[in-house]
């Protein structure tokens, strides 16, 4: 590795470490050096859950009491029948007092055993100093105030310790009769659930405490629960975080010491099982995590991510080999800025993945949670793979030092004995005047030795093909017309027929679509590149005419052009271009040697190109435009064409998977890379369909079944939104670097490309599970569609658009008043809807007759890079 690449390697790694360190810089807060008066305690380790009927065991409780010994002076329990009855005698061995609780649910089969167990505990263990009959049972409306008072009175008669129940502050203020019935007030002060910002939360808790103290001056007040979660959704101004938890706990402990408060921190250990009933926040109130490790120090600085150094090291290690491979293989071809940019992107992706997986590992054990996290991680992997592919293309386009395979058009006049070229023009049911214009352009070519075969394939109406046949006769013997009735094999079948009719002395086969008007220099500029015997085909970009005055056609023209003037140029560097049918010239012997055109595939051109590469032929790509066709006239035709391309791509991948696999020896690594990664974004479009539908279903679940659904963590939502922003920014950057069009043309091309997301997604899914769909022609010279057809052309996209917007609005209305994550989720739904909105907007632009434009930009300029827009 060169010194410059080594310097980049060190710089990128140090930058990644610096970002981790900056993000996790310690936050100073008031320290606490004393013991904690008490902590809530539920004796369930990560592999146990009371909701599944599990019972706590003495061995686990023993470990927990040993961990608490010296850190807290007492514990509070919540049940007397789930194994918590074992806590008191074990706590006694460690000198811990116990405030024992009975779980009251308003059901005799639950309440009676709990009350009996609580009485037994209090009478058998002298370290049980107080008892609590019920925990927020009135708040949940499990029991009425008279019912809980009756339970309290029953317990009072049987025990010799103070008796109360535990409720939030507002329940005590509302029910003075309940205060009268208890020996002390056990109040829950949890500002997080009330949406109070962390900075104000301790002061707010003291306000509520003093409110009770003022109203009930003769009652002792125990703060039964007070704390802050380390993870969970935003609730208005309340943010659950590790730093905020540490700040709250430290601040409160100092205030409690100054005011001699009686309290229990909520709670001793994180409880993953609570996710099922309280979501993420319910799992993370512990001073220790679920594995009994302290979550933050009581003295010194606090960091948001514990052990971030180990996670940072893991991220650096994960990205190290890809980074070294990139710098070794590509560093020499890129300017230093590109090496730094893509190296930083690799390390950033590695860091986010490490952070995501570490968050997932602490997410809890609920089956639905594990499934959701696994799917989210997989989706994030797909997104980041596409991001790295787009990033590589951007890096090569913006920072490529030089081109290795740059082919210059031949300018010399062709010799009289120049190799003969047989030009095949397949057509099906095309307007005669359009095909005649194509033939006229061919007749004007500045090349001495060519023939033209017009292959009319299965056109039923003689009034359509007869005029073309007659015109071919007028053009002379170079032009031959063939009408094929009931001919199999679609376009490939017609081309194979033409191959059989080709003049024996023809050395090359050229193919153009029936709407293309070629430049007179086409053959003169390209044929000399066949002087090298390894060249199998020469390709010029597709280009278009007569689009300048129509906004819809202008958009799709620039959308098309980007592939030919960005992607194809980069693919050409690795001899991996897509053979795209029109404006292509193939060595006849190569075409026959690889088995002619593939009639099994509706994208026969791309299949042929791949087979030529598998037979070690080389391609030549010249970004000069030597022919212009017509863009589709309707959004429906535009979608049909892209559906065929995407469906055919899947068939090709299925057919050639052995050659494209790592063990395949027919293709180079660069060719495999481009054919796989070139189509991977289309698989991302297929995934987008699932994401959109899943987002709607998940939103319904959030509203209808909040016990089982919660908002995806920001660790997923923020990267997803960031990837979308990166793709948009990268697309505009690529256009700026390679495409000679104005800013609004770039935006229009981006909208047109995005409008095809659903179409491509459908094609990919159908392609994965079916085969043999028929070739569908892309119609040209259509009449402009009527307004109502905009809704028909984008009907599926409209349904998904309305559904996503409806879900986003419903989420904001239901949760937006208290949960900032609701806005993040709604924003994600809106982002998911943008391709569907783009489809509808494109369809509307297509049908509005007054959206006609005068020529504004010049025709694409011929140069070494060509011009166009990104797909």
Q: How many helices (H) and strands (E) are present in the chain, helices listed first?
A: 30, 17
Q: What is the pLDDT of residue 786?
A: 63
pLDDT at site 771: 84
Work out the burial of residue 122: count CB atoms within 10 Å of its CB; fewer than 13 is exposed, 13-18 middle, 19 or more buried: buried
Average pLDDT, whole number, for the chain? 91
Phi, psi of 164 (to 5 degrees): -155, -170
Per-residue confidence band for 378, with pLDDT thresholds at 50, 70 and 90: confident
How far is Cα 395 from Cα 412, in angstroms, rounded to an integer? 36
**Nearest Cα residue to 865 out of 568, 658, 635:** 568
Question: In the predicted model, is pLDDT for residue 60 greater than 80?
Answer: yes
Lowest mean pLDDT among 33-47, 375-389, 598-612, 758-772: 375-389
Whether the per-residue pLDDT at 774 is higher than 90: the answer is no
Contacts of 157 (CB under 8 A, 6+ apart): none
Angle 546-551-554 (CA atoms, 0-180°, nearest 5)?
A: 50
Distance CA 312, CA 785 (A): 57
Whether the CB-CB separation of 170 and 210 falls below 8 Å is answered with no
CA 560 to chain centre: 25
pLDDT for residue 363: 58
Q: How many CA atoms lie within 13 A of 136 on its CB side?
A: 11
pLDDT of residue 861: 33
Burial of 769 (0-12, 13-18, 19+ CB in 10 A): exposed
**Tell me, what's the pLDDT at 859?**
40
Q: How many CA atoms lie within 13 A of 650 on its CB side?
A: 23
Residue owning tokens 């070690």: 616
42 against 819, higher pLDDT: 42
Q: Tens digits of per-residue pLDDT, 5-32?
A: 899 999 999 999 999 999 888 887 789 9
DSSP character at residue 506: E
| Band (790; pLDDT cuts 50, 70, 90) | confident
Q: How far apart are CA 378 and CA 374, in angstroms?
A: 6
450, β-bridge pairs: 421
Pairing of strands 584-587, 535-539: antiparallel
At 445, phi and psi to the nearest 5? Answer: -65, 140
CATH 3.20.20.80 matches 29-282? yes
DSSP E strands: which ranges in 512-573? 517-518, 535-539
| Range in 62-71, 181-190, 220-229, 707-716 the model is least confident about | 707-716
pLDDT tens digit string along 214-259?
999 999 999 999 999 998 888 888 999 999 999 999 999 999 999 9
Side-chain-facing half-sphere of 307: CA atoms under 13 Å:
11
C-beta contacts of 378-383 below 8 A and 24+ residues apart: 379/687, 379/691, 379/716, 380/352, 380/353, 380/356, 380/716, 380/719, 380/720, 381/353, 382/683, 382/684, 382/687, 383/684, 383/719, 383/720, 383/723
Tokens 């070739």 belong to 775
Q: How many Å apart are CA 307 and CA 50, to the nearest integer?
A: 31
Rounded mean pLDDT of 124-153?
97
The Cα 551–Cα 107 span in angstroms is: 69
DSSP string, 423-467: EEEEESS--HHHHHHHHHHHHT-S-SSEEEEEEEES---HHHHHH
Assess contact for 566 and 734: CB atoms under 8 A.
yes
Contact (CB, 8 A) for 635 and 846: yes
| Per-residue b or e along 266-290, where b marks 16 or more CB atoms closer than 10 Å to that residue's CB | bbbbbbbbbbbebbbbbbbbbbbbb
Q: Where residue 206 falls among pLDDT bands split at 50, 70, 90?
A: very high
* H helix runs in 129-197, sequence order: 145-158, 169-174, 176-181
Cβ–Cβ under 8 Å, residues 573 and 404: yes
Q: How far is 654 from 660, CA to CA, in rounded Å? A: 10
DSSP 288: B
The conformation of residue 770, written as its DSSP 8-state character, comes to -
Distance CA 345, CA 445 (A): 49
> Mean pLDDT throughout 468-484?
96
Q: Which of 445-454, 526-535, 615-624, 715-724 has the lowest mean pLDDT?
A: 715-724
Instruction: Decide: residue 338, CB within 10 A, 0-12 exposed, 13-18 middle, 19+ buried.
Output: buried
> How far from the centroid of its chain's Cα atoms is residue 524's Cα?
47
Of residues 493 and 772, the one with the higher pLDDT is: 493
Domain boundaries, the chain: 3-21+307-399, 29-282
Convert the pLDDT of each residue in 380-419 to its tens digit: 888 898 899 999 999 999 998 788 899 999 999 999 999 9
Neighbours of 378 (CB within 10 A): 11
Token duo for residue 681 = 């974004």
What average pLDDT score do residues 273-299 get?
89
* Sequence-separated (6 or more) residues with CB below 8 Å from residue 605: 511, 578, 579, 580, 581, 584
Q: pLDDT tens digits for 423-438?
A: 999 999 999 999 999 9
Residue 105 makes CB contacts below 8 A (sequence gap 6+) with: 111, 137, 142, 143
pLDDT confidence bin for 784, thresholds 50/70/90? low
Cis omega (within 30 of 0) on the bond before 267?
Answer: yes
pLDDT at 1: 55
Pairing of strands 584-587, 506-511: antiparallel
Residue range 613-631: mean pLDDT, rounded: 95
Question: Which pair of tokens denotes residue 477?
Answer: 């013997």
* Nearest one of 331, 244, 250, 314 to 284, comparing CA atoms: 244
Torsional class of 596: left (φ above 0), alpha (ψ -120 to 50), beta (otherwise): left
Confidence (pLDDT) at 199: 93
**What percent of the chain stands above pLDDT 90?**
76
Region 346-363 average pLDDT: 84
pLDDT at site 362: 63
Name residues whose C-beta falls within 8 Å of residue 265's C-beta, 6 or more positions apart in sequence.
36, 38, 39, 40, 72, 226, 227, 249, 252, 287
What is the mean pLDDT of the segment spanning 269-287? 89
pLDDT tens per residue across span 168-187: 999 999 999 999 999 999 99
- The band of 806, judged by pLDDT with boundaries at 50, 70 and 90, is very high
Q: Which of 692, 580, 601 is nearest to 650 (CA)?
A: 601
The DSSP code sequence of 336-394 is HHHHHHHHHHHHHHHHHHHHHHHHHHTS-S-HHHHHHHHHHHHHHHHHHHHHHHHHHHH
Q: How confident is the model at residue 865 (pLDDT cuts 50, 70, 90)?
A: very low
Confidence of residue 863 (pLDDT cuts 50, 70, 90): very low
The answer, as to whether pTM is greater than 0.95, is: no
What whole-number distance in Å separates Cα of residue 797 and Cα of residue 804?
10
Confidence band (pLDDT; 50, 70, 90) for 779? low
For the chain, what percent of residues have pLDDT higher than 70? 94
Rounded Cα distance, 399 and 332, in Å: 11
pLDDT at 838 over 80: yes
> Which has the minimum average pLDDT: 456-465, 671-680, 686-695, 848-857?
848-857
């Amino acid at each position: 590795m060169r010194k410059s690449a080594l310097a980049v390697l060190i710089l990128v790694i140090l930058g990644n470490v610096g970002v981790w360190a900056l993000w996790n810089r310690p936050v100073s807060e008031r320290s606490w050096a004393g013991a904690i008066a008490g902590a809530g305690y539920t004796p369930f380790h990560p592999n146990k859950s009371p909701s599944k009927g599990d019972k706590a065991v003495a061995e686990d409780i023993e470990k927990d009491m040993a961990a608490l010994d010296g850190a807290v002076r007492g514990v509070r329990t919540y049940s007397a029948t789930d194994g918590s009855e074992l806590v008191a005698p074990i706590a006694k061995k460690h000198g811990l007092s116990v405030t024992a609780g009975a779980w009251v649910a308003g059901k005799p089969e639950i309440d009676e055993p709990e009350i009996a167990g609580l009485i037994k505990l209090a009478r058998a263990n002298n370290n049980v100093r107080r008892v609590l009959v019920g925990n927020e049972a009135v708040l949940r409306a499990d029991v009425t105030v008279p019912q809980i008072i009756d339970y309290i009175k029953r317990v009072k008669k049987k025990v010799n310790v103070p008796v109360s129940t535990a409720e939030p502050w507002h329940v005590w203020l509302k029910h003075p009769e309940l205060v009268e019935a208890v020996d002390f007030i056990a109040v829950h002060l949890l500002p997080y659930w009330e949406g109070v910002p962390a900075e104000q939360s301790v002061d707010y808790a003291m306000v509520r405490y003093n409110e009770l103290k003022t109203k009930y001056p003769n009652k002792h007040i125990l703060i039964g629960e007070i704390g802050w979660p380390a993870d969970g959704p935003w609730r208005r101004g309340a943010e659950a975080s590790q730093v905020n938890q540490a700040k709250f706990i430290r601040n409160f402990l100092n205030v409690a010491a100054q005011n001699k408060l009686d309290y229990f921190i909520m709670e001793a250990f994180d409880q993953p099982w609570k996710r099922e009933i309280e979501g993420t926040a319910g799992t993370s109130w512990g001073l220790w995590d679920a594995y009994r490790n302290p979550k933050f120090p009581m003295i010194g600085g606090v960091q948001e991510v514990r052990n971030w150094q180990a996670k940072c090291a893991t991220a650096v290690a994960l990205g190290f080999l890809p980074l070294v491979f990139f710098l070794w293989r590509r560093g020499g071809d890129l300017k230093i800025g590109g090496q730094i940019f893509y190296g930083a992107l690799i390390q950033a992706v590695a860091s986010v993945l490490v952070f995501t997986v570490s968050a997932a590992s602490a997410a809890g054990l609920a089956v639905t949670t594990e499934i959701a996290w696994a799917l989210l991680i997989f989706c994030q992997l797909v997104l980041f793979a596409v991001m790295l592919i787009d990033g590589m293309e951007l890096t090569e386009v913006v920072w490529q030092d030089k081109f290795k395979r740059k082919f210059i058009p031949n300018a010399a006049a062709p010799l009289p004995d120049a190799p003969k070229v047989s030009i095949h023009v397949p057509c099906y049911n095309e307007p005669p005047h359009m095909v005649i214009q194509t033939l006229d352009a061919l007749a004007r070519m500045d090349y001495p030795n060519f023939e033209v075969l017009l292959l009319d394939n299965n056109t039923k109406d003689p009034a359509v093909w007869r005029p073309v046949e007659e015109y071919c006769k007028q053009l002379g013997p170079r032009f031959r017309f063939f009408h094929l009735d009931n001919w199999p094999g679609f376009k490939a079948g017609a081309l194979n027929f033409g191959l059989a009719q080709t003049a024996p002395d023809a050395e090359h086969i050229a193919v153009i679509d029936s709407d293309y008007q070629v430049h007179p220099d086409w053959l003169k500029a390209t044929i000399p590149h066949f002087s090298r015997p390894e060249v199998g085909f020469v390709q010029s970009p597709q280009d278009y005419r007569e689009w300048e005055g129509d906004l819809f056609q202008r958009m799709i023209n620039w959308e098309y052009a980007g592939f030919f003037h960005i992607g194809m140029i980069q693919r050409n560097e690795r001899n991996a271009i897509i053979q795209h049918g029109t404006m292509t010239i193939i060595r006849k012997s190569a075409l026959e040697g690889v088995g002619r055109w593939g009639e099994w595939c509706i994208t026969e051109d791309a299949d042929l190109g791949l087979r030529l590469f598998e037979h070690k032929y080389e391609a030549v790509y010249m970004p000069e435009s030597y022919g212009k066709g017509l863009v589709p006239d309707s959004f429906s035709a535009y979608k049909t064409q892209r559906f065929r391309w995407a469906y055919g791509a899947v068939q090709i991948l299925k057919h050639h998977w052995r050659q494209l696999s790592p063990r395949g020896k027919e293709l180079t690594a660069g060719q495999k890379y481009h054919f796989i990664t070139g189509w991977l974004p289309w698989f991302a479009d297929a995934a987008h369909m699932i994401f959109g539908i899943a987002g709607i279903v998940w939103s319904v679940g959030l509203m209808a079944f909040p016990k089982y659904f919660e908002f995806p963590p920001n660790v997923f939502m923020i990267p997803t939104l960031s990837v979308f922003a990166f793709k948009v920014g990268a697309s505009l950057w690529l256009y700026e670097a390679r495409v000679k069009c104005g800013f609004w043309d770039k935006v229009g091309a981006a909208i047109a490309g995005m409008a095809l997301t659903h179409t491509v997604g459908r094609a990919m899914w159908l392609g994965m599970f079916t085969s043999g769909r028929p070739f569908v022609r892309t119609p040209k010279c259509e009449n402009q569609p009527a307004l109502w057809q905009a809704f028909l052309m984008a009907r599926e996209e409209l349904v998904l658009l309305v559904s996503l917007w409806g879900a986003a609005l419903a989420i904001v209305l239901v949760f937006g008043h208290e949960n900032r994550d609701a806005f993040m989720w709604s924003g994600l739904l809106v982002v998911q809807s943008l391709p569907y909105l783009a489809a509808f907007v494109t369809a509307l632009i297509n049908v509005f007759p007054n959206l006609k434009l005068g020529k504004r930009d010049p025709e694409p300029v011929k140069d070494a890079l060509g011009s166009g827009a990104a797909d």
